[in-house]
Structure formats: C-alpha cells, structure tokens
A and B are shown apart, each in its own frame.
Chain A
Amino acid sequence: MYKTAMLTKDLVAASSRPLLLSILAGGESYGYEIIQKVRELSGGHIEWSDGMLYPVLHRLERDGLIQSEWRESETGRERKYYALNKDGHKALKTERQQWLSVHNTLCKLWNIKPVST
C-alpha cells in the first residue's frame, strides 16, 4: 500500500510562510494552537518543531505581515496572539498564486486536474 511520507526539511521550511499566513487569515492564533492545527490539517505529515515556528513568526512580524499581542486567554494564562494585518493579506495572495502555479505545473506533468488560480 502507498504511504505518504513525512515532508522533507526543506519543503517544511519553504511552506511555513504560506501555511502560517493562511492559518492566521482564518483568525488570530498562538504558537501551540498553530502547531496543533498544522499537525491536524496535514494528517501528521507536517511536523513543525517549536524551534522553527517561533523564529518564523517573529520574522513575519518584523516584515510587517503580522502583529502580536500578549493577552490573557480564557484559562487566565497569558499568551502571545498573532494576527494577520493588511500587508499580510496581500502577501498571502501572492504566496497563493505562486504555490498554485507550482502545484498546477506539477498537476499537468502528472496528469492530475489542476486547481483554478
């Protein structure tokens, strides 16, 4: 039986930006929740390490695509919440086009139905 392998380190690193922007486009979130979400959506094939996630989030923030705020959660504990801003939405649009372009090229090569951009 064919089994989907874990993503390579390079691919995980390259896809972290569009994935983070896409998750945050769905609403604000925090590190632990983001990692859980990625694990769940990928069916466990994308395993992010914490050491990788936070520096990327910080870089996105430095680039002005997301903003963060320390806030008290429902449990009473403080968490750093990240949210996408206007520039982040623009960046996500560009990322989406680029990734779909790669995806469609591969689909054509592999004779799979492409996705509309």
Chain B
Amino acid sequence: MEHQTRFDLNAALESWRTELAAQPNLTQDARRELETHLRDTIIGLRQCGLNDEEAFWLASRRTGQPEKLGEEFVKTDSSNIWRERVFWLGMALLMIGYWNSLTLFIRVTFPFLAGSEINSMVFYYTIFYGPIVWVTYCLVAGRAKRFKILGDVFLHSRGIFIALTVSAAVLVLGFNSLQLYSRMSYTSYQIVLSQIEWILFPRIVNFSALIAITAWLMPQKKTSKAALHS
C-alpha cells in the first residue's frame, strides 16, 4: 500500500531558509526579501488552486536555486555584501572591547576571586576567552538562535543601536574610571594620569570610532520573524 506523508510547509520553508542562509553572498536583508517574495508567490499559487506542496515546489523553482541567487547578487552588487561583513566585524570588535573592559574591571576589583597573581592571570583569561569561545561555537554550530532576541533589540533601528552601544561604552568606561580612581590612594597621581592617557583615552577613541562605523554600516531596520511569518 502506498504510504503518503503529509507535506509540512513550515518545515519546507525552514529548510529553504537554511539553504539560503548558507550562501555567503546573500545579505540578511536580501534573504529576508527573497523569503517574503517566496511567501507571496506561494500565496498567489494557492489562490490559483495549487496545494501547499505544489505551490512551494513551483514558488521555490521560480525564486531560483539559492546558489544561483547568491551568484546573481554578487555579480550585480558585491558592495552590500562587504558592507554587511565589515559591519559584523566592527560589531565583534566592539563587543570584544566591552568584554575586555568589563573583565579587566572584574579582575582588578575582585582580586580575592583569583587569589595569587598567577591565578589572577588564569582567572582573567578564563573569564575573557570563555564566553568568546562559547559564542563563536554557537555561531559556527548554527545555534545562533539564542542570540536572536539580543540582535532584534540591538538592530531594531539606528537610534536604538547608537543609544545602546553608547550606554554600554559609558558603563564600561565608567567601571574603568572607578578602577583608576581606586588606585589613587596607593599610586602616585602621575601614574594615574598616565593610565588615563594610555588606557582610558584610547578606549574612548576606539569605542567612538567603532560605534560610528557600525552605526553607519548597520543593515536596515530588523523586525521580528513573527511579523514575517504571519
């Protein structure tokens, strides 16, 4: 007896989306636009009387193979792809910068957590690299969904992005200033000044430059997939 399995449109769309996401030449914005188009085509074909499976099959054929789509996009517009790549590079540097400032603050403020100076170094490298390795692993292993909410909030609009990144910079730089201030009791004023000059000031410049570059390069407004899936 012939066994027929029920076609799952959502699973088919998810699989198509995964295949599209694997194309390095397609920006997030382009992928989203293509998915919207695919869904529009499916709706149009359903109205013509096709069932879910037929509509999906035909719509995905019309939209084109993900590999071919990637080739078409890079042929006509490679600048957008590089724009997005540089944006994420800037974001990574910015996040590492925040994390570096924060872990340094933890290390100096709570030395008793580590004990000896050697332990302190081990402690610092563990809390600094541990989360970075974990986040990298999640991204590489395709488990990036857990960062989706964070991404949705950060990339909602340029205004929100600037407000959040500047606030985070002010916060970590505030921690670093406190760190320097606390040293004033046992270090000479000259040393504190030189640390402001060599540690704090370059960080302010770095954060400002990275925030400006990433805000300029940031992709268009990102909205929740719930709206897209409705």
Contact = CB atoms under 8 A, between A and B. Distances in A.
Interface of A: 30-32, 36, 49-52, 54-56, 58-59, 62, 68-70, 72, 76-80
Interface string B210-223: 00000000001101
Given A78-B227, A78-B228, A51 B69 contact: yes
Given A32-B40, A51-B68, A77-B228, A58 B76 contact: yes
B76 A55 contact: yes
25 contacts: A32-B40, A50-B34, A50-B62, A50-B69, A51-B63, A51-B68, A51-B73, A54-B30, A54-B73, A55-B75, A58-B30, A58-B73, A58-B80, A62-B79, A70-B220, A70-B221, A70-B223, A72-B227, A76-B230, A77-B39, A77-B227, A78-B36, A78-B227, A80-B29, A80-B32
Interface of B is mostly: helix
Interface residues of B, number: 29
Contacts of A31: 33, 36-37
A50 B37 contact: yes
A70 B186 CA distance: 56
A59 B64 contact: no
Interface of B: 29-30, 32-34, 36-37, 39-41, 44, 62-64, 68-69, 72-73, 75-77, 79-80, 220-221, 223, 227-228, 230
B38 to A, nearest CB: 8
Given A70-B223, A76-B230, A78-B228, A50 B63 contact: yes
A56 B73 CA distance: 9
B220 A58 contact: no
A58 B77 contact: yes
Contacts of B69: 50-51
The 9 residue pairs across chains A and B that have the minimum distance between CB atoms: A55-B76, A32-B40, A51-B64, A51-B72, A50-B63, A58-B77, A51-B69, A55-B73, A78-B227
